[in-house]
Structure 1
Amino acid sequence: MILPGNDPAALRVAADTVRAGGLVAFPTETVYGLGCDALNPDAVQQVFRAKRRPAFDPLIVHVADRTRLDLIVRDVPPRAQRLMERFWPGPLTLVLPKQARVPDAVTAGRPTVAVRQPAHPVARALLKAAGIPIAAPSANPFGYVSPTTASHVLDGLGEEVSVILDGGPCPIGVESTILSLADSTPRLLRPGGIARQDIEAVIGLVEGPASQGSVSLAPGQSPRHYATRTPVTILSGDRHPEAQERAGLLAMSPATHHRLGGRFCAVEVLSSSGDLAEAAANLFAALRRLDRLELDRLYVEPCPELGLGAAIMDRLRRCAVPHELLSLQRKHRTQGYRTEEAL
């Protein structure tokens, strides 16, 4: 059931549900999360079942404030402290050494845990009312476009969720940035709501993830992810719709719509001015609307990879991985290879 996120009675119901081992969907500033008691292994397994999420994909644990970190984190290095002071609450997830009490299912058996303090008032109110850390991936079937409204959650998960708290559309619209501080080298595992250059302004140089083969170090890193059911192609000089295609266009600005819109059956414009923050906030909802039209293909306009543009392009590239990859991955799994599941 969907309940208003600003209703104290609804928050009590949601908090009681989480403490009792149930699942609650709630808004964050990034996307809607599917939350459970992070320290209850049975509740965590419910999240994986509801999302049909593979066990190798770790979850992010949300805390009400930094005073709750000692429940789940063993050590908070000085760099983490500086980043928390600058960006928490907000869309920055830090990967740190975990406490033994954190279930292995939360961390996919790794000795580290991903943690953040969300900024959305409904998320913060739920965490305060529940009084426990809440593990929460995005509230959608694994691999599909992330939800940025309560209705998206209901469409994707339906009766799998006991309570959905409605806090309106998510203002940032793409997931949090994930930064590992688990060793001496800070590593950006996923671009998101905090730009890499803003992080580097606080702690210095940040590197990309070390090569781990097919092992997922952070949520949202499967080769095909954030994906529509309709095939997606990123526009380039030699990639345009064929004459017989019923195609949709995801444009970054009205200028692209005016230039190319006549070639497409449907067009979604992400920003009236080409603003990347506005484009990110509208990205997933626009992809969902186009996906419902049962078109042959969706074409998406790339954007500059500055600030939120890096997160937008990360999502679009994963969305655009060919569907044919799925059958190859499934074949590898049946042959005993360790590969990532895409959907």
Structure 2
Amino acid sequence: MSPPASIEMIADILRKGGLAALPTETVYGLGANALDPVAVARIFAAKERPFFDPLIVHLADLDWLPRVVKSFPPIAKTLAERFWPGPMTLVLPKSEVVPDLVTSGMPTVGIRIPDHELTRQVLRLANVPVAAPSANLFGRLSPTTAEHVREQLGDRIDALLDGGPCRVGVESSILRVEGDRVTLLRPGGIPVEEIEIAVGAPVHHELTTGDKPAAPGMLDSHYAPRTPLTVGNQIPPAAPWPRSGLLTFEAPHDSHGYAMVEVLSPKGDLVTAAAQFFQALHRLDAAGLDGIFAIAFPDRGLGRALNDRLKRAAFRKAETPN
């Protein structure tokens, strides 16, 4: 893969049906023209992603909405005016021009306006909505640097736009809007407390799924390192494995016996922890450890989104007896 040197070249690749990894404030996305079914199919092939998992469509500005959605309820407008550009995805009735492949056959589509000026420039120049799930292999750790993308996708894609480390560091909050009802499908970069303030009402929750998820990131196993990961509320008195890694929110009182320790925020700041989260897991995963022990986050603000990622990263299917 030879990354082009300009946003103009990236935009041209997208217009012509190619794949390009793009920086956003959340994680790097693997983008293709959302209105081109063949280009969208290339996303699924590059990521080894199952077709039942829908994609999020990225727009440059609010005036692009009629191109991809049938309706935009008042409460969706309220949310958009408050949080866009930013780490919020709205699930709304889709326009007929959006291929069913993008939405896994569902009548709704997830849309957002990213808060990264380089990518919004690409979108404007390409002049096409861009479907862009995270730029990683399916189910693996999300990429928050260009190097993470290179490590996982390499020559599977046509181009990579390096926009530096992602500022937010966790995926967008996904909200389904139906009339005046707002349902959280995936916690993410906007704390649910802020969403409830914006809409003036409690937000409903639908964070589990069956065989066909309503939004990305809802499968039981997701965001996973190759190294086995276990989650707990406090550091075990002895390291659980011969070579153990520790992922912790604040500086631990005692971490003796651990081969590697990642402290996400010595000052206990959840925003800082979120920005460092996937980078720390990538480092732990590359260290040749026998296992990673992660300390759960406070169940508030961005801590809820981080706990959701830990739960899915640690999920292991029960073995079926022979």
TM-score by length of 1: 0.89
Letter in 2 for 1:297: G
Task: Select which of 267, 270, 294 maps to 1:273.
Answer: 267
After superposition, the C-alpha distances for 1:203-255 in whole angstroms (9 at most, x for unaligned) are 1221011875332111011111100011111123595655653100011122x
Letter in 2 for 1:261: S
Verify: 1:167 aligned to 2:163, yes or no: yes
Verify: 1:76 aligned to 2:69, yes or no: no
Structure 1's 127 and 238: CA in aligned 2 closer, same or farther, altered over 3 A?
Answer: closer
Letter in 1 for 2:184: L
After superposition, the C-alpha distances for 1:90-134 in whole angstroms (9 at most, x for unaligned) are 000000000011000100000000000001111111111111100
Alpha carbons 1:36, 1:47 under 8 Å: kept = yes
1:130-279 equivalence runs, <5 A: 130-182=126-178, 184-203=180-199, 204-209=201-206, 212-236=209-233, 241-242=238-239, 245-254=242-251, 256=252, 259-279=253-273
Residue 284 of structure 1 corresponds to which residue in structure 2? Answer: 278
Q: What RMSD, in angstroms, separates the aligned Cα atoms of the two structures?
A: 1.8
Gapped regions of structure 1 (runs ≥ 5): 332-343
CA distance in 2, matches of 1:140, 1:190: 18
Letter in 2 for 1:196: V
Structure 1's 242 and 266: CA in aligned 2 closer, same or farther, altered over 3 A?
Answer: closer
Verify: 1:93 aligned to 2:86, yes or no: no
Residue 119 of structure 1 corresponds to which residue in structure 2? Answer: 115
Bigger Cα displacement from structure 2, 209-218 vs 81-90: 209-218
Residue 334 of structure 1 corresponds to which residue in structure 2? Answer: none
Structure 1's 260 and 2: CA in aligned 2 closer, same or farther, altered over 3 A?
Answer: farther
Alpha carbons 1:94, 1:116 under 8 Å: kept = yes
CA distance in 2, matches of 1:133, 1:42: 15
1:61-72 equivalence runs, <5 A: 61-72=57-68
Bigger Cα displacement from structure 2, 277-286 vs 198-207: 198-207
Residue 56 of structure 2 corresponds to which residue in structure 1? Answer: 60
The structure richer in helix per residue is 1
Structure 1's 320 and 46: CA in aligned 2 closer, same or farther, altered over 3 A?
Answer: same
Task: Select which of 8, 11, 20 maps to 2:7.
Answer: 11
Q: Give the % identical residues.
A: 49
CA distance in 2, matches of 1:152, 1:242: 28
Alpha carbons 1:96, 1:112 under 8 Å: kept = yes
Q: Per-residue deviation at 1:183?
A: 5.2
User: Number of aligned pairs?
Assistant: 320
Alpha carbons 1:26, 1:32 under 8 Å: kept = yes
Letter in 2 for 1:41: P
Residue 335 of structure 1 corresponds to which residue in structure 2? Answer: none
Q: Secondary structure at the match of 1:262?
A: coil
After superposition, the C-alpha distances for 1:158-188 in whole angstroms (9 at most, x for unaligned) are 0011110000000000000000014553110
Gapped regions of structure 2 (runs ≥ 5): none
Q: Per-residue deviation at 1:307?
A: 1.1
Structure 1's 308 and 73: CA in aligned 2 closer, same or farther, altered over 3 A?
Answer: same
Q: Per-residue deviation at 1:260?
A: 2.8
Alpha carbons 1:112, 1:182 under 8 Å: kept = no
Alpha carbons 2:208, 2:219 under 8 Å: kept = no
Structure 1's 46 and 182: CA in aligned 2 closer, same or farther, altered over 3 A?
Answer: farther
